[in-house]
Amino acid sequence: MSESTKALATLPKPTVLDVVDDCWEISGRSDLSPSGYKITRVPIPQDLDKLTPLQQAIILQSTKAWSDSPIPFLLYMLQRCRALNLDPASGDIYTVDGRLSTSDDAKIRNARRSGKVEWVRRGEPIKATNPISGKPDTYIEVTMKHRDETEPQSYKAWLSEWFNPKNANWSARPIDALSRKAEARLSHRMFPLGEDEPLDAPAIPIPWEEAFGKGPVVTNISQTNTTGGISQS
């Protein structure tokens, strides 16, 4: 076996190898080839408005976000983007442990462009006892009214469930990030959008004082049915 054949046989996924005659040369698995791989030439696009799915997949694979994804998976992802009206270049869709997930912005945008959202009310951060853990926590509640429904729906996003200290947005703007998370979860509940992020991720313990600062704990929370507002006692 030649050195070039050995190198090709170890390729873990379809990969762009070279540029020849205005084409990308890519490798792909093939049971018909002695090496188990074959070389395919894909024309480099001359018109970015007329990209084929394979050309799009190759371009996406060259980006940091999708560099570890094989081309067949990227083609599947592009098909899902077309079906769900998502833009992979703007981060609408991403992978978590090999599974496709949609971003919070995509969920919110999907609800808004439905034309069925009558109004949205975003609450302020409130310190309260988490009903599950029984520990002091902070939540933001978002309420949304569907035009075809009589009563609005609401969702409380608890800081302990969603805060990610490794994410720059959560570290720098936790209030805004928690508010968007609440709206995204509510938007997805009322206007489901295909793939969803896994909810079985382990909770990340954080020092609450660093996220929101110290404050009184509110133990009794109730919501009025007429206005969707929040009352405290």
Q: Which one, of 156, 202, 196, 193, lies nearest residue 178 by Cα?
A: 156
The predicted pLDDT at position 210 comes to 55
pLDDT, tens digit (0-9, with 9 covering 90-100), for 32-53: 455 555 566 677 777 777 788 8
Which band of pLDDT confidence, cut at 50, 70 and 90, is reported for residue 181? Answer: very high
The predicted pLDDT at position 125 comes to 95
The predicted pLDDT at position 61 comes to 84
The predicted pLDDT at position 177 comes to 94
Neighbours of 166 (CB within 10 A): 7
Give backbone dihedrals phi and psi of 29, rounded to 5 degrees, phi first: -65, 140
pLDDT, tens digit (0-9, with 9 covering 90-100), for 13-25: 555 555 655 676 6
Q: Say how far apart CA 89 and CA 78 lie, in whole Å.
A: 11
Helix axes 174-190, 104-112, angle to 10 degrees: 50
**Quick check: helix, strand or coil at residue 86?**
coil
Please state the pTM of the whole predicted model: 0.67
The predicted pLDDT at position 98 comes to 81
Domain range summary for the chain, segments of one domain joined by +: 1-74, 102-233
Which band of pLDDT confidence, cut at 50, 70 and 90, is reported for residue 201? Answer: very low
**Quick check: helix, strand or coil at residue 149?**
coil
Neighbours of 19 (CB within 10 A): 11
Which band of pLDDT confidence, cut at 50, 70 and 90, is reported for residue 229? Answer: very low
